[in-house]
């Protein structure tokens, strides 16, 4: 009998990231779009420093920080969900996904209050260059949070049904990767728009 190992070594870096390869191309395209948006904001500020610095003071920094905490916590919950499903604990995984959805919902509520406050003060896209960037950049991100939550709800339904497990992690890992991307983008957006001056 030939006992020589025929497969590749078990250790060493995995060749592909977790989840479906297609989601990673999608994530990279999204990051590219946000990257261009961030650079455009930063260079627009360079031409209008006084305006951007004075307008930044009209933002609710506490709301921005609270939303950072919500997205980071939502991301942590979804990472725990993936970890639980990887140990064949679907019920636990579903509960973590629900917690992640709650964090995303909290983000939308806080951002909704921020928007209501600004629109109530008569601010819109044409108010000035700062608000054109603030509203379009944060709304672009807001739409991604909504899409991320739709994905999480779909994952929650399927996880409750036991559709994922240690042998089939592709779907939940792909959805989770998208949700973490939404968090990653906000980690750059918050200091750039709310704090840096």
Partner 1 sequence: MNARHLNTVWVVLLLATLATFAIGEAGDLLGITGPVAMLLLLSISIIKGRLVVLDFMGLRGVKFFWRSLLIGWLLLVSALIAVAYWIALK
Contact 187, 139 (CB under 8 A): no
Nearer to partner 1, 35 or 161 (CB): 35
Nearer to partner 1, 131 or 194 (CB): 194
- CA distance readout (Å), 193 to 57, 63, 136, 141, 143: 10, 13, 12, 13, 18
Tell me, residue by residue from 152 to 191, as one string, x for binding to partner 1 by CB under 8 A and - for no binding.
---------------------x--xx--xx-xx--xx-xx
Give the list of residues 6+ apart from residue 135 with CB closer than 8 angstroms, or none: 118, 123, 124, 125
Nearer to partner 1, 154 or 187 (CB): 187
> Does 133 contact partner 1 by CB under 8 A?
no
Nearer to partner 1, 64 or 156 (CB): 64
> Does 195 contact partner 1 by CB under 8 A?
yes
> Does 102 contact partner 1 by CB under 8 A?
no
| CB of residue 2 to partner 1, shortest distance in Å | 30
DSSP labels, 73-141: HHHHHHHHHHHHHHTT-HHHHHHHHHHHHHHHHHHHHHHHHHHHHHHHTT--TTS-HHHHHHHHHHHHH
Neighbours of 95 (CB within 10 A): 18
Tokens of 64: 């921005």
Query: Which residues here bind partner 1, judged by CB under 8 A?
Result: 13-18, 24, 28, 31-32, 35, 38-39, 42-43, 45-46, 49, 61-62, 65, 68-69, 72-73, 75-76, 78-80, 82-84, 173, 176-177, 180-181, 183-184, 187-188, 190-192, 194-197
């Amino acid at each position: 009998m030939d006992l020589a190992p025929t497969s590749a070594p078990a250790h060493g870096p995995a060749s592909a990231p977790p989840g479906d390869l297609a989601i990673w191309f999608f994530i990279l395209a999204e990051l590219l779009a946000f990257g261009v948006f961030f650079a455009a904001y930063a260079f627009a500020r360079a031409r209008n420093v006084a305006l951007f610095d004075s307008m930044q003071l009209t933002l609710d920094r506490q709301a921005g920080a609270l939303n950072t905490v919500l997205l980071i916590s939502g991301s942590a919950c979804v990472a725990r969900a993936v970890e639980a499903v990887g140990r064949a604990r679907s019920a636990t995984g579903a509960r973590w996904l629900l917690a992640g959805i709650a964090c995303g919902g909290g983000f939308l509520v806080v951002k909704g209050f921020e928007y209501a406050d600004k629109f109530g003060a008569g601010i819109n896209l044409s108010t000035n260059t700062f608000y054109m960037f603030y509203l379009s950049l944060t709304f672009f991100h807001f739409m991604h949070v909504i899409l991320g939550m739709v994905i999480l709800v779909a994952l929650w339904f399927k996880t409750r049904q036991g559709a994922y497990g240690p042998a089939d992690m592709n779907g939940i890992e792909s959805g989770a990767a998208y949700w973490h991307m939404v968090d990653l983008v906000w980690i750059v957006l918050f200091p750039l728009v709310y704090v840096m001056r």
